[in-house]
Amino acid sequence: MTGGALESGRRAAAGPILLFALFLGLLCIASLSVGVADLSARTAGALLDTLLISRLPRTLAVILVGAGLAIAGLVMQTLARNRFVDPGLSGTEQSAAFGVLLATVFWPGGSIAGKMLVATATALAGTAAFLLLVRRLPPTQPFLMPLFGLIYGGVIAAGVTFAAWHLDLLQYLDVWMNGDFSGILRGRYEILWGAAALVAISWWLADALTIASLGKDVSVGLGLDYERMVRLGLLIVALLSALTVVVVGMVPFVGLIVPNLVSRLRGDNLRGALPWVAAGGAALTLCCDILGRLLRYPYEIPIGTILGVVGAACALALLRGRSARG
């Protein structure tokens, strides 16, 4: 009876997995198919070049960014012990943009990897400062943290914009402040594969992160080096945010929406939720990227703009749902 029940449970779980895998596959095919160039009118060689040089790198970049930002949001929420924060609502992405601006001013000939390291350092500092500041907030008021994060990130973004204005770099800064995949080509996105490695590391650390989410006293009592785990979690969030900002710019709300939806559907088991969060982030960014390419075809709307609208609506719905349950 037990073996039969287990087998039935596996079959029941396999259904949603297969359906979601099929949906993600269809999104990938749609992403490869959408574009200004008419693929049907091209020779086999030209068709292959278009796919390998432009459309496949773009699709892979969208998947890696979506999965990475969703995992960054999940880790951030675990460390902050609050469901309504993500790298965009904790000053992480804005701090990474500040790092890119610093690297541009003081290291204009630097490589993408070098700019990413500078952006990671500033993102790490900005996120650590956020977590230190929010410890003063009352834990009984969970909505205060995202509100504080909005103000905190807005202050950093305003400072970055002010500095860029003085340095005559406002137009350059726009590239980093609003995510856009239109410039992705082969040779200009490969650094994003680091996001896949960071997602794998997050899955490996899932149990330790779950213990860390219980607080310092409980973590130490269970034998976990709490401070070390928090530092590792912050480093993962900072690296994922810096990778995204350096390559495509700021992409909002992915890390907020996807972990919340997955937790409602799959529960709070961090190790079990991680694959779903990564896949959900990839699906959300693919949908929004395709939508941005189709709404004003043959022109494009940046994914940062699309997610700014879609994400804000979803975030308000999540907040309203939490308030109704409260």
- In CATH, the number for domain 39-325 is 1.10.3470.10
How does DSSP assign 140-202, residue by residue?
Answer: T-TTHHHHHHHHHHHHHHHHHHHHHHHTT-HHHHHHHHS---TT--TTSSGGGHHHHHHHHHH
- Rg of the chain over all Cα atoms, to the nearest angstrom: 20
C-alpha 158 chain-centroid distance = 22
Residue by residue, pLDDT tens for the chain (326 residues) are 455 554 554 555 566 778 888 989 999 999 998 877 766 666 777 778 888 888 999 999 999 999 999 999 999 999 888 888 888 888 899 999 999 899 888 888 878 888 889 999 999 999 989 988 888 888 777 778 888 888 999 999 999 999 989 888 887 777 778 889 988 988 888 999 999 999 999 999 999 998 988 888 889 898 888 889 989 999 999 999 999 998 998 999 999 999 999 988 887 788 888 999 999 999 999 999 999 999 988 889 999 999 999 988 888 887 776 655 55
Long-range contacts of 129-136 (CB under 8 A, 24+ apart): 129/91, 130/90, 130/91, 130/92, 131/79, 131/80, 131/90, 131/230, 131/234, 134/80, 134/82
Question: What's the Cα-to-Cα distance from 11 to each of 18, 47, 91, 102, rounded to whole Å?
Answer: 11, 40, 42, 53
128 contacts 234 by C-beta, under 8 angstroms:
yes
C-alpha angle 32-24-18 in degrees, rounded to nearest 5: 140
pTM of the model: 0.89
DSSP SS3 for 269: coil
Residues with Cβ within 8 Å of 82's Cβ and at least 6 positions away in sequence, in order, are 134, 142, 145, 146
